[in-house]
Each structure stands twice: as C-alpha cells, then as structure tokens.
Structure 1
Amino acid sequence: MTTISLKISDQDKLFLNNMAKFEGVTLSELIRSKTFKALEDDYDARIADLALDEYNNSQEQSKPITALWNELNL
C-alpha cells in the first residue's frame, strides 16, 4: 500500500481527528472514503453534464414514453 503525505494546519488535523472519532473510523479511512466519494460524485456530475450537452446539441427529439411502449409492444 502507498502512503501519501498531506500538510494541514493543527486546527484542521484536530477537526479531522474529531470527525474520524465521530464516524468511528481511523483518520486514514475517513480521508480516503470521503475523498473518493467526493471525486466519484464529481465525476458522475460531469458525465451527466456532458451527456445532457450532447443530447441538447443533437438533432434527436424526445418521444413520449407511450411511443417507446408501443415500439416494444408493452
């Protein structure tokens, strides 16, 4: 496993230690899980924005859901 060093203020370290204690996890686990969750959420939001832009810039028009049901014989 690789180690990453991070410089933070004493006040930030105290806050992070208190949050880790509050969450019932180690400081390392808190930073790892919260960082990855935030990055994954940011990635998902960017992908959604790109997909929406692509849809808005396309010539396709949306259809009512009933049209899809008819195509699928539902």
Structure 2
Amino acid sequence: MATITVRVSDVEKQFLDEMAKFEGKSLSDLLKTTTLESLEDEYDARVADYAYEEYLKKPESRPLSELMSEYGLDDDE
C-alpha cells in the first residue's frame, strides 16, 4: 500500500482531527474517502457536461425503455 504525505498548518490539522472524530473515522480514512468522493463527483460532473455539449450539437434522444431493452434490463426479467 502506498503512503502519501500532505503538509497542513496546525490549525488545519486540528480541524481535520475534529472532523475525523465527528465522522467517527480515522484521519487517514476521512481524508481518503472524502478526497476520492470529491474527485469522483468532479469526474462525473465533467463527463455529464461533455455529454450535454455533445447532445446540444446533435439533439437526438431515445426512450429509456428502448435503452433498457437494448442492454437487457427489461422489466420482463
């Protein structure tokens, strides 16, 4: 497992320690989960923005039921 060092001020460290305690997590777990969740959210938002821009260039859509059927996710199963 890799280790990453992050330098923070004493005030930031105190805040992070208090947040970890508030969340009932270790400081390491708090930083890891919060950072990964934030980055995943940012990635999802950028992908959505890109998809929307592509849609605006060629505004075509299909019914959800058609897509569900195409991917084998019908209600029939």
Match of 1:25 in 2: 25
Shift of 1:61: 4.0
Does the residue aligned with 2:3 lie in a helix, a strand or coil?
Answer: coil
Give matches, 1:1-74, under 5 Å: 1-58=1-58, 60-62=59-61
TM-score, with structure 2 as normaliser: 0.76
In structure 2, what is the Cα distance between the partners aligned to 1:35 and 1:13?
Answer: 16
In structure 2, what is the Cα distance between the partners aligned to 1:57 and 1:21?
Answer: 48
Aligned residue pairs, count: 64
In structure 2, what is the Cα distance between the partners aligned to 1:61 and 1:3?
Answer: 47
Alignment gaps of 5+ in structure 1:
69-74
Instruction: State the Cα deviation string for residues 3-48 of structure 1 (Å, max 9, x = none).
Output: 0000100000000000000000000000000000000000000000
In structure 2, what is the Cα distance between the partners aligned to 1:61 and 1:27?
Answer: 47
Alignment gaps of 5+ in structure 2:
67-77
Task: Provide the aligned C-alpha RMSD in A.
Answer: 1.5
Shift of 1:62: 4.7
- State which structure, 1 or 2, has the greater radius of gyration over its C-alpha atoms: 1
Letter of the 2:13 counterpart: K
Give the percent of matched residue pairs that are identical in Structure 1 and Structure 2: 48
TM-score, with structure 1 as normaliser: 0.79
Letter of the 1:50 counterpart: Y
